[in-house]
Amino acid sequence: MKKMIKRLLSALLITALMISLLTFSAGAALPPALVGDVNYDDSVDILDVTLIQRYLIGNTVFYDNQKPVADFDRDGEISVIDATWIQRKEVGMTIPEGYGGILNQDIFVTSFYADHESGKAAAGIPVTFTARANCGEEGCTYAFYIDGKMVQERSQDNTLTYTFPESGDYYVEVKAFNKDGFCNPDPYGKFHVVDSYPYDELGLLSVNWIDYAYRPDPILEVRATGGTAPYTYSYTILDLDSGESYSKEYYEKLGWQMLYDKDEKPYLYRDFSENSSLTIPVFELGFNYTRRLVVQAKDADGNLTETKIVIIEDQLIMG
C-alpha cells in the first residue's frame, strides 16, 4: 500500500456553459527538425547551402519553419557563416559544440476564438481574439494577421483586439511560435463584420476552466456577450469554513477581500474589473471542500448580467 498523500484536483464539478466562438482546428504536431536541413529532405548537404545562399541574395523566400533551421550556428541570424559551417561539416571538419543538432517543432493550437457571438461583429466596435497553443515547457509567442497582413507582431500576448473599419468578410490568422522559432500550420477563419446590429441583451456567454488538470491553482475564463463593451467581471467564493486559518490580510495579498454576510459567515470577493481570467486559490481554501463561485458581468453602460454559479470541489486522494 502506498503511504503518500497526493494532492490532486480529482473532481472539479463545473456547472458552466461550454461554448466556443470562432474555433479553429488544431495544427498537427511536427517531428523534430534537423538544423541545416532547409529543404527538409532529412539530410544536411550542399543543396541546403545553395538554398541559404539564394536566400541571402534575395532569390528565394523561406517559410517561417525554414528560418530557424537555416540558422546553423544558432546565433539568431541567417548569414553566410551558416552556409560556411555546413560546408565545413560536409567535408569532415570539426564544428563547434552547439552548432547544428535537433530542434523541437511540436506545436498544437488548441483554440482560437473571438468575443462576439457566432463570429460576427459590427464595424467600428473592437473585437478581442484569443489564441491558445501548446508549444512545450517554454511556452508560446503569438503573431496575428488580418487578410494576410500582420496586425500584431510576435509577442507573449495571446490576444488581439482589433476594430474592423467596415462590413465584409475577413480572414483572421494566428501563428504560435515555440522557443526554437517554429510556428504552427496557419489556422485561420472567416470573420463576418456587419454595418450594425440591434442591441443584444447582456449575458454571460461562457464560464470555462482552462489548464486545470493537475494544477495547484485552476484558472477560470469568463466571456460576456451583448450589451456594450468593454465588460467588467466580479467574483465571489462562498461556503468558506468559519474557522479558516488564513487571515483577511492573507487573502488581500492574493487579490481577494474577505467579507462577512448577515449571518457573520465569511466569503471572498473581487470587485468588478476587466480581468476575465481568474486564478482560484484552491490550496488556500483547504481540502475536502465544496465551494460556490459566483460570477457576474457588467457592461460599459452599467447593465448587469444574471449571476452564474460554478461548483468547485476538491478531495484528498489516498494512494
Superfamily holding 201-318: Immunoglobulins (2.60.40.10)
Please list the residue range(s) of the chain that carry CATH number 2.60.40.10: 108-194, 201-318
The pTM assigned to this predicted structure is 0.47
Let me know: does 181 contact 138? Beta carbons within 8 Å: no
Round to whole Å and give the CA distance between 154 and 139: 13
The cell numbers describing 316, all together, are: 484528498
- Asked if 285 and 291 touch (Cβ cutoff 8 Å), the reply is yes
Q: Over its length of 319 residues, how does the chain's per-residue pLDDT go in tens digits?
A: 333 323 323 322 222 222 233 434 334 445 677 888 888 888 888 998 999 999 999 988 887 778 888 888 878 789 999 999 888 888 888 888 878 887 766 677 777 888 765 567 778 888 888 888 877 767 888 999 999 899 999 999 999 999 899 888 888 888 888 877 777 666 667 788 877 655 567 777 767 766 544 455 677 888 887 777 788 999 998 887 755 556 788 888 888 898 888 888 888 899 999 888 887 766 566 556 678 889 999 988 888 988 888 887 764 333 2
Domain 33-101 has CATH 1.10.1330.10: yes
Question: Please, where in the chain does CATH 1.10.1330.10 lie?
Answer: 33-101
**The domain at 108-194 falls in which architecture?**
Sandwich (2.60)
Please, what is the angle between helix 46-56 and helix 80-90, to 10°? Answer: 170
- The distance from CA 148 to its chain's CA centroid, rounded to whole angstroms, is 21
